[in-house]
Structure 1
Amino acid sequence: MTSLAPDLTALAPLAARVCPWLVDAAAPDRDEPEDGVVRAMTLILRLEREGPTRTAVLEAAASAALALCLDERAAPEGEWFDAVATWAGAGRIRKLSRRARTAHWRAVQEVPGVTVGELVRALVPGPVDDVPHEVRRLQIGGTDLPADEPGPPAAGRPVIWLSPEVEQTVGKAAAQVGHASMILATVLAASGDDPAVALEASVRPASREDWARWTAVLDADPTGQAAWEGDGVVPVRDAGFTEVAPGTVTCVAAR
């Protein structure tokens, strides 16, 4: 058994859930913190009228969510540590996506968080019913973008493979790939590898053949150990709050 590197200490509860065979920690047995407050990380997607591609937004979302967790301010003694650790300890890593453009996008740069590629800003997690005015006025819906053809993923980098069986809006998919990058980094860290490599993950749709193989392994061993040790993949299982049924595997991250 091992523990996470100091820069991912805030995600120790997540490690206990997604790779219990690697860490010496007990997973939370609750869905929410003991204080009953529902918390989430908000992802602000910059969707201008002449917008970016769907793939570019999703890759920025995956990187931004993890970049916040790897930021020195989220490490022990950092100003964000308590917020990130409390959120990760809830039993769910909830994320909400909102869209912004022009002045609204500029305004949210003043809210604590991390921006990647001028496309996505991940905000420090907090209560879902207590968000700054700059965030509250942004719409949650209307985040769809047409599919694009990004080509093969970058060689030598992790890939987040989206399910070919589940239709997701850009907002939903952004949250899922954000989960995926965090989970992949957590498992890498627990395995003694560099979690920061997950910052460079590509996002692509999975083939039905690959998806069927991965999900068969995950069905046979829901802990995920066999999928990680055999194929180097970790799943994202949705909690079922929006769009898909609880337990649905929406994507997998491959090292």
Structure 2
Amino acid sequence: MTTDPNTEPRGGDTDPRDAAPQFVLPLVLRIERTAPPSRTDALETTARAVLTILSDDRSLGEGEWAAAVRDWQDARIRKVVRRARGAEWRRAGALPGITVTGTRPSDPAEVRVFPPVPLDGWPKDLARLQVSGTELAEPEPPAPPAPSVPVLWLNPHLEMSAGKACAQAGHGAQLAWWDLPDAERKAWREAGFPLAARVASPAAWQSLLAGGLPVVQDAGFTEIAPGSATVVADHPALRA
């Protein structure tokens, strides 16, 4: 089972990742006043955005983003989801990055992901965006995911803002990506990273935690207690 290396060290333990320069993966969620995305579509699109930048040629080998991505993954995989609309979104879109669009038929989510930046070195047009208090509605309950689709199961016992939950979904997708064999990674990428994000039932959550799947444990910097299990990444290829 893989756990999220974003977890804060406890009990006086030290971790070499904390000695490395700390980076963050910026993600910007488009939220227009008149056409906000649904919460589930935002979660799923954020997770797909993380997978998209991880697998992009610019992030691999000698690509232009590869050094930043390596430095970020060598430390703690922090992600921050901010929100933008109108001119803010257009300015964010002018910066190097990738925009990923959701799958909802109407008002799909849009998330732009950027190469990692130093923790205190955000580009000006991203640093000014709001980060806290993002809330999104769920117009109708999402359908049960198909058995063949990877699912990011959220902890039913935690309350998280939409922005926080999006970041946790991104962590879960990344842990699944790390654990997959190369052939499964390739297949997932070629299929366009299909996935679902759902809140687990309390009974199912306990079974998921015990199932040997990747588990996200939050560092506790915002909203929830350190070490809280937030997401279990249930990819069919990782099931025991």
Q: Return the TM-score normalized by structure 1.
A: 0.78
Distance 1:187 1:211 in 2: 20
Among 5, 17, 22, which residue is 1:38 paired with?
A: 22
Among 133, 145, 149, which residue is 2:124 paired with?
A: 133
Distance 2:119 2:29 in 1: 17
Match of 2:72 in 1: 87
Q: Structure 2 unaligned runs (5+)?
A: 6-13, 102-108, 236-240
> Are the aligned partners of 1:41 and 1:123 in contact in 2 as well (CA < 8 Å)?
yes
Coordinate RMSD, CA, aligned: 2.2
Distance 1:108 1:64 in 2: 15
Match of 2:199 in 1: 205
Distance 2:117 2:187 in 1: 24
Is 1:150 matched with 2:142? yes
Match of 1:171 in 2: 163
Which one-letter code corresponds to 2:18 in the other structure? E
Q: How far does residue 189 in structure 1 lie from its aligned partner after superposition? A: 2.8
Q: How far does residue 33 in structure 1 lie from its aligned partner after superposition? A: 4.5
Q: How far does residue 152 in structure 1 lie from its aligned partner after superposition? A: 1.2
Is 1:124 matched with 2:118? no
Match of 2:226 in 1: 246
Q: Structure 1 unaligned runs (5+)?
A: 1-14, 20-27, 218-226
Kindly report which structure 2 residues correspond to 1:188-203, keeping only aligned pairs within 5 A, or say none.
Answer: 188-189=180-181, 193-194=184-185, 197=188, 199-203=193-197
**What's the secondary structure of 2:113's corresponding residue?**
strand
> Are the aligned partners of 1:235 and 1:253 in contact in 2 as well (CA < 8 Å)?
yes
- For the structure 1 residues 184 and 58, does the alpha-carbon distance in structure 2 shift closer, same or farther, using more than 3 Å as the test? same
> Are the aligned partners of 1:84 and 1:124 in contact in 2 as well (CA < 8 Å)?
yes
Q: Which runs of 4+ in 1 moved over 4 A?
A: 15-19
Q: How far does residue 108 in structure 1 lie from its aligned partner after superposition? A: 0.8
**What's the secondary structure of 2:137's corresponding residue?**
coil
**What's the secondary structure of 2:158's corresponding residue?**
coil
**What fraction of aligned residue pairs are identical, expressed as a percent?**
40
> Are the aligned partners of 1:158 and 1:197 in contact in 2 as well (CA < 8 Å)?
no
> Are the aligned partners of 1:186 and 1:195 in contact in 2 as well (CA < 8 Å)?
no
- For the structure 1 residues 241 and 134, does the alpha-carbon distance in structure 2 shift closer, same or farther, using more than 3 Å as the test? same
Which one-letter code corresponds to 2:60 in the other structure? A
- For the structure 1 residues 16 and 236, does the alpha-carbon distance in structure 2 shift closer, same or farther, using more than 3 Å as the test? closer
**What's the secondary structure of 2:175's corresponding residue?**
helix
Distance 1:17 1:160 in 2: 14
Q: How far does residue 196 in structure 1 lie from its aligned partner after superposition? A: 5.4
Which one-letter code corresponds to 2:172 in the other structure? A
Match of 2:106 in 1: none
Which one-letter code corresponds to 1:160 in the other structure? L
Among 64, 84, 92, which residue is 2:49 paired with?
A: 64
Which one-letter code corresponds to 1:173 in the other structure? A
Distance 1:43 1:154 in 2: 27
Q: How far does residue 43 in structure 1 lie from its aligned partner after superposition? A: 1.1
**What's the secondary structure of 1:193's corresponding residue?**
helix
Which one-letter code corresponds to 2:124 in the other structure? H
**What's the secondary structure of 1:194's corresponding residue?**
helix
> Are the aligned partners of 1:33 and 1:86 in contact in 2 as well (CA < 8 Å)?
no
Which one-letter code corresponds to 1:93 in the other structure? I
